[in-house]
Amino acid sequence: MSKLATLPAAHPQASYLSHQAEIDHAIQQVLQSGWYVLGQEVIAFEQEFARYIGVRDAIGVGSGTDALVLALRACGVGPGDAVLTVSHTAVATVAAIELAGARPILAEIEPETFTLDPDSLEEAIKMQGQDQIKAIIVVHLYGHPADMPAINDIARRYGIKVIEDCAQAHGAALQNLKAGALGSRLAAFSFYPTKNLGALGDGGAVAADDPELAAQVRLLRQYGWRQRYVSELPGMNSRLDELQAAILRVKLRYLDQENCRRQEIAGYYNTLLAETPLLLPQVRPGATHVYHQYVVRSRKRDQLQSFLAAHGLGAMIHYPVPVHLQPAYRGRVTLANRLAGTEAICREILSLPMYPQMTDGDVERVGGVIADFYRKK
């Protein structure tokens, strides 16, 4: 049993404590350097992160939302354009489309992987007209890569640009290619503290394999400056700071190891929960799932969540309300179809505790309480 009285759904502090000495040393080096914005730490992290993903460039920015906005703008997306994505995602995906001045169109997801359904994608393009849809944002939700070969094939046939939303997929892969290098024009990452690769504050990056697009993102992230104080185009202020870059450089060295532990935890959950009525996470053939979240489906989701909470176990819902049903977007965004599958999934999903510092005893504790719940029911 865990020593924690309460086992949280996620534990970003545990990740810091695991590497505290190295992180503290990296922070001290930045403070002593006197250089806090777009210095050597950012440059080094950008190079190391690009190498890790398998692309030519990575551009550090202020957040994952900014990364999506900058990727869209670099691809020429703006007012009058439509961007297709999913409704079952963090609202940041859709917010970024509107921040770029474009109009979101929301499509259906696959029930097994919770990622964009290629059939729904093609149906939406035919319904809306390919001239309307300028880009597709593909969300690799929960750490599982979407069906990029099928999506890329559709996008090529209709001449539409693809952007990967990798906010939850650091280190995920499909057919040995990492998320962010799966054939998209650009990819957006978030380094929010709870991510598989998380900073101690906000941060993000845009990954690019096209030098011209990478240069465009670099211009856009800082007022369109190539020469200081001279704007070549209307940009914005979105910079990854030196402290966060130094922290991320330390944590990047442990990302594969921590993802491996997430996969071990998921495997143990699969064993412990195999005899319960829960629908467990599915993995696409050839995919590497990095389990940013371990998400199950239950028709008694709300009762199960309350039962876990009563036993000191944190379980969250990512995400309880699809974007198209949220007050800010209801009746205002375009739907590719009715999204009945998305709505059904959102009524049943539950994220069990998942972070690399969990012990086998922690996992057993969660599995035991869930087994008790179903025995009593």
Domains defined along the chain, listed by start: 14-252 (3.40.640.10), 254-376 (3.90.1150.10)
Say how far apart CA 177 and CA 161 lie, in whole Å.
19
Answer whether residue 377 shows pLDDT above 90. no
What pLDDT band is residue 1 in, cutting at 50, 70 and 90?
Answer: very low
Beta strand spans in the chain (E): 57-61, 82-86, 103-107, 133-139, 161-165, 173-174, 177-178, 186-190, 204-208, 225-227, 230-231, 287-288, 294-297, 334-335, 349-352
Q: Contact at 8 Å (CB) between 93 and 164?
A: no
pTM: 0.97
Q: How far is CA 82 from CA 2, 79, 129, 231, 333, in A?
A: 48, 8, 10, 27, 11
**Among candidate residues 255, 204, 250, the one with its CA nearest the CA of residue 23:** 250
| Residue 129 confidence class, pLDDT cut points 50, 70, 90 | confident
CB 358, CB 265: distance < 8 Å: yes
Average pLDDT for 331-357: 96
Lowest mean pLDDT among 178-182, 228-232, 364-368: 228-232
Q: pLDDT, tens digit, for every residue of 166-187?
A: 999 999 999 999 999 999 999 9
22-53, pLDDT tens digit by residue?
999 999 999 999 999 999 999 999 999 999 99
- Gap between the Cα atoms of 123 and 72, Å rounded: 22
322 CB-contact burial (10 Å; exposed 0-12 / middle 13-18 / buried 19+): buried
Number of alpha carbons in the 13 Å side-chain half-sphere of residue 123: 14
pLDDT score for 5: 60
If you average pLDDT over every residue of the chain, what do you get? 96
* Share above pLDDT 90 across residues of the chain, in percent, rounded to a whole number: 95
Q: What is the pLDDT of residue 132?
A: 85
Instruction: Provide the percentage of residues in the chain whose pLDDT is more than 70.
Output: 98
Q: Is 114 left (phi over 0), alpha (psi -120 to 50) or beta?
A: left
| Number of CB atoms found within 10 A of residue 126's CB | 11
